Amino acid sequence: MALGSKASFSYNPTDDEIVEEYKKNNRLSVAKGQNPIEAISKDKRDRIRQQLIDEENSKPLQEKRVAGDASETGVVKFVQGIADIEKTRSQYPIFSYIEKATGT
């Protein structure tokens, strides 16, 4: 039994998402040639990143982001409603075998 071997519920906010979230409540001053993310302190970036992740985790299952191709994404969202996908994966690990080349 293989359940979406690569797809997973995972969300890591991009720098652009962090900048946009910061701009909602703050004015952002960016020096000429400066990357906007660099204008936000690391502490604030980390807090915004965690806030965005917490918001994502609080969404209903069908609205959560899933990383992977379309087929696996559908399987993961379906199965997660029935059983925890990570627990199921740990019970049914996927093994890859590599054949040794034989010199004939």
Mean pLDDT across 54-64: 88
67-82 per-position pLDDT tens digit = 878 888 888 888 888 8
In the chain, domain spans: 8-91
Neighbours of 85 (CB within 10 A): 21
Q: Which residue has the higher pLDDT, 14 or 10?
A: 14
Confidence of residue 1 (pLDDT cuts 50, 70, 90): very low
The residues, any chain, with a CB within 8 Å of residue 22's CB and separated by 6 or more, are: 28, 40, 44, 48
The pTM (predicted TM-score) of the whole model is 0.66
